[in-house]
Structure 1
Amino acid sequence: MTPLDQRFTEFMLQSGALRFGDFTLKSGRRSPYFINAGAFNDGRKIATLGAFYAEKITAAIADGTLPQDIATIFGPAYKGIPLAVSTAIALTSMHGMEVGYTFDRKEKKDHGDGGILVGTPLEDGMKVLLVDDVMTAGTAVREVVPKLKAAADVDIVGLVLSVDRMEKTKDSDISAVKSVEQEFGFPVIAIANVREIFAAASRMVTLDGQPLLSDAIKHSAEDYLKRYGA
């Protein structure tokens, strides 16, 4: 079977979620690539994305990085909601794992069922796996962990991302992924990291047989990772 990182890179390109060029990011950095999770905008794409998350999760369970008895998949609002739902569906339907999904509201609901969490209720001792798209500074994780801990004494067993940008944060020489791992003590796993994505894209060609990545983009990527990589 084609390696996961290559299949995922092809999927992101076909979905329009991954583009190469010259982009100015929210951080102000000029990047040779851009990832737009909003491009996963129909049933086929989000179902395929959930299947990729589920494949990475089951591989991490097999190698002992994650536990087998995950009770629910938690996705932070808003982008994490379809990730949690599609991943839970894929784990159940494709891998035989009985797992729930949970997400938070941006604002606490004061009527009806109330509360700030939706989906599988959290209970003490429950093993919770977080999912998100691309981590830049780890802000979303730092916001949701207190919410989960306030709801119940859950065991957060890890975080699965679509892409690890492998970039150092503004305030240190370590990546946001490593920073979160050190702060919270759980593993952060990505379906693919940026070096794997560039390596996979470098092997691809366009419909007319030309290399997908120009030499200019390759050099720009090398310079970018030398400057910002962690």
Structure 2
Amino acid sequence: MSALTEEFIRFAVDAQVIRFGEFVTKAGRTSPYFFNAGLFNDGANLGKVANFYAQTLLDSGVEFDMLFGPAYKGITLASATAVALANKGRNVPFAYNRKEAKDHGEGGTIVGAKLAGRIVIIDDVISAGTSVRESVELIRAAGAEPAAVLIALDRMERVGADDALSANSAVQEVSQSYGIPVLAIANLNDLFTCLSAENADVAMTQYKDAVADYRQRYGVVANK
């Protein structure tokens, strides 16, 4: 785990974006932790998370020309990341989509820069992969190329019903389906490492066994 990843996890816990307890996920599973990027909801925290996105993207070595944020959470994350990249000396355009096409003014579903070149899709997590699929379709329809997907947290969970779990996570399926890398600032293994650290906060370590059990039941070993 990199220093950047560890810093991000501790920041997300402090901001209560990562919470521990009992939560029901979109898949209907009872999870001992929950990640809600919607709680990066003030200027300071949004600026900090954007820096994590920007540095992760720059460190990845992925070649890109612009950013795209799927509605709705991706809109704020992509625009803030564009600002963070500019502050790091890499000024790139960004765009996002509307859920419904505008029938007046400029019309259409895309707001911002024209989709062109190699585009990184920025979102919070990948659950079912629906927003990624829609984004890839929009990008390719414009004659541009999806270069990567960048998310905050990879939950590393196998997809499917409990009695018919896939061998792959949602992230793996997206990467394999579209032939593009999925980058994450942190993943479930990183979170567990932080929970297991000798200097971990007691409020966090009490959930270590629950997270371990959840990972054992639903997790993939590593992303391919």
TM-score when scaled to structure 1?
0.89
Structure 2 counterpart of 1:49: 49
Unaligned runs of 5+ in 2: none
Q: Does 1:133 align with 2:127?
A: no
Write the distance in 1 (CA, Å) between the matches of 2:150 and 2:138.
18
Contact 1:5 / 1:197 at 8 angstroms: preserved in 2?
Answer: no
* CA distance, structure 2, for counterparts of residue 113 and residue 141 of structure 1: 24
Structure 1: stretches of 5+ with no match in the other structure: none
Question: 1:174 is matched with which residue?
Answer: 168
Q: CA RMSD, aligned part only?
A: 1.4
The alignment status of 1:81 with 2:75, answered yes or no, reads: yes
Aligned 8 A contact 1:202 1:211 in 2:
no
User: 2 CA distance for matches of 1:100 and 1:32?
Assistant: 38
Pairs within 5 Å for 1:90-169: 90-94=84-88, 96-123=89-116, 126-150=117-141, 152-169=142-159
Q: How far apart are the structure 2 equivalents of 1:42 and 1:110?
A: 32
Structure 2 Cα separation of the partners of residues 212 and 222 of structure 1: 13
C-alpha separation in 2, matches of 1:29 and 1:197: 18
Q: CA deviation at 1:185?
A: 0.3
Report the count of equivalent residues. 214
Q: Distance in 1 between matches of 2:182 and 2:167?
A: 18
Secondary structure of the structure 2 residue equivalent to 1:92: helix
Identity value in percent: 42
Instruction: Provide the secondary structure at the position in 2 that maps to 1:105.
Output: strand
- 1-structure distance, mates of 2:149, 2:22: 29
The letter for the 2-side match of 1:166 is: M
Where 1:157 maps in the other structure, the secondary structure is strand
Equivalence for 1:221: 211
